[in-house]
Amino acid sequence: MEARLRVRRFDPESGEGARYQSYTLDVPDYATVLEVLLQIREELDDSLALRCSCSSAICGSCAMRINGQARLACKTKVAAVAADGGEIVVEPVGNMPVIKDLVADMDPFWQKVRAVEPWLQPKGPPPEREYLVPHEVMRPLADVMACIMCGSCVSDCTVLETELALGKPYEQTFLAPAALAKAYRFVGDPRDGADAERLLALSRLEGIWDCTRCNFCVEVCPKSVAPMDQILALRRKAIEQGHDEYLGARHTLEFEKTVRESSWL
């Protein structure tokens, strides 16, 4: 099978801006985009820089924009994205600076994750043995912890893109899906004792109420974490726990009031 790729190149040492380079090569029918990129490196051009490690969608290294949408290259079959042998456009993830070629600078991503204090904060000393927790409570948290921090959701986040286009520095932008989903993992964990502080911090500007509910993060997440659903779960908990003075919360409560008043239920 012939694969045709158009890859965004950027060489910081060249003094030139970004450009696109086309490659055509013969690949196996079941090849993934990552396998093709590695084949390009081996056979045609070993200067193409990219990150990859596990080839099995668990390390999160190879997130990149393929035909405009963030995906894991190791999980994307060439046949699935090259309709009728068309050209596949490969670019680094969006919403982050680019170091070189397909290697993005994920520092802004990690800044956002760190901002939600992503570690368990128990109240008081732990028990002698394990905390007793029902499986039904732990198992869904495993689904949220399935997040491999690949950056796909942040890459394609509408609000983040909008704010960066407005010229906002990273520290002042939307926390973005990955960090917020990570925050939910703790709010939803009965062993964590910092709900009130977390929800307070998350309700502020650029937190849970700034999501525009476009579902891009849900659509692009390779591990079915559905970050937006976690953001909405945080909204629910925030209101339940009395953090309702923010615009988004008030709006939600007013909307709910209107619906309840006018419905049969």
Partner 1 sequence: MVLSHDVLVIGAGLAGMRAALEARRKGVDVAVLSKVHPVRSHSTQAQGGINAALGEDDSWEKHGFDTVKGSDYLGDQDAIEIFVKDAPERVVELEHMGTVFSRRDDGRIAQRPFGGAAFPRTCYVADITGQVLLHVLHEQILQAGVRVYEEWFATSLIVEDGVCRGALAMEIRSGQLQAFSAKVVIMATGGLGRVYEPSTNSLISTGDGQALAYRAGAALMDTEFVQYHPTALRNGILMTEGARGEGGYLLNSKGERFMEKYAPKMIELASRDVVSRAEQTELDEGRGVNGFILLDLRHLGREKILERLPQIHELAMDIAGVDAIDEPIPIRPAMHYFMGGIKTDVHGATLLPGLYAAGECACVTVHGANRLGGNSLLETIVFGRRSGVAAAEHVDGVLAANVSEALVSQEGGRIKAVLDRSDSGDSVARIRMEMGQTMNRYVGMFRDEKGLQKAVAKLAELKERYKRVGVHDRSRVFNTSLLFHLELGNMLDLAEAMALAALHRKESRGAQFRRDFPQRDDEEWLKHVLVRYSPEGPSLDYSPVAITRWQPERRVY
Partner 2 sequence: MKFAYWPGCSVPRQGTPELRITAAAVCDKLGIELEDLSLAPCTGSGILQARDLVYADTLNASTFAMAEDMGLPLMTICSTCQGVFSQARRRLKEKPDYLAQINQTLEEQGMKYSGNLEVKHLLWVLVEDYGLAEVGKAVVRSLKGLRVAPFYGCYLLRPSAALGLDEHPERRTCLESLIEALGAEAVEYRGKTLCCGYPLVGVNDENSAAMVGTHSVEAKEKGADCMVTPCPLCHMNLDGVQPQASEQRETRINMPVLHLTQLIGLALGIDPPDLGFDRHAVPVKSVLAKLGL
The contact set with partner 2 (CB under 8 A) reads 68, 158-159, 162-163, 165-166, 209-216, 218-219, 226, 232-233, 235-236, 239, 247-248, 251-253, 255-256, 258-259, 262-265
For residues 229 and 217, what is the distance between their CA atoms, to the nearest angstrom? Answer: 10
Closer of 109 and 246 to partner 1 (Cβ): 109
CB of 202 to partner 1, least distance (A): 17
CA 49, chain centre distance (Å) = 22
Q: Which does 252 bind (CB under 5 to 8 A by kind): partner 2, partner 1, none?
A: partner 2
What is the closest distance, in whole angstroms, from the C-beta atom of residue 42 to partner 1 in the complex?
Answer: 5
Residue 119 CA to its chain's centroid (Å): 19
DSSP letter, residue 248: H
Q: Which positions ≥6 away from 49 have C-beta within 8 Å?
A: 99, 100, 101, 102, 103
Euclidean distance between CA atoms 153 and 172, whole angstroms: 18
In the structure encoding, which two tokens stand for residue 220, read together? 């692009």
Binding site for partner 1 (CB under 8 A): 11-13, 30, 41-42, 46-47, 49-61, 75, 99-101, 103, 106, 114, 117-120, 122, 126, 129-135, 138-139, 141-142, 145-146, 148-149, 186, 189, 191-192
Would you say 94 or 151 has its CB closer to partner 1?
151
- CB closer to partner 2 out of 132 and 166: 166
The dihedrals phi and psi of 50, each to the nearest 5 degrees, come to -155, 165
- What are 228's two structure tokens? 């937006």
Distance (Å, whole) CA 127 – CA 202: 29
Q: How far is the CB of 2 from partner 2 (least distance, A)?
A: 23
Task: Return the bridge partners of 5, or none.
Answer: 23, 88
Distance, in Å, from the CA atom of 102 to the CA atom of 40, rounded to the nearest integer, reads: 13
* Positive/negative CA dihedral, 166, 104, 112, 74: positive
**Which C-beta is closer to partner 1: that of 227 or that of 243?**
227
Binding partner at 215 among partner 1, partner 2, none, C-beta below 5 to 8 Å by kind: partner 2
Could you say which of partner 1, partner 2, none residue 68 binds, taking C-beta under 5 to 8 angstroms by partner kind?
Answer: partner 2
Residue 219 CB, nearest approach to partner 2 (Å)? 5
Q: Which entry of partner 1, partner 2, none binds 262, CB below 5 to 8 A by partner kind?
A: partner 2
Residue 40 vs 159, nearer CB to partner 2: 159
User: Of partner 1, partner 2, none, which one sits near residue 214, judging by CB under 5 to 8 A according to partner kind?
Assistant: partner 2
Residue in 34, 119, 35, 101 with CA at minimum distance from that of residue 71: 34
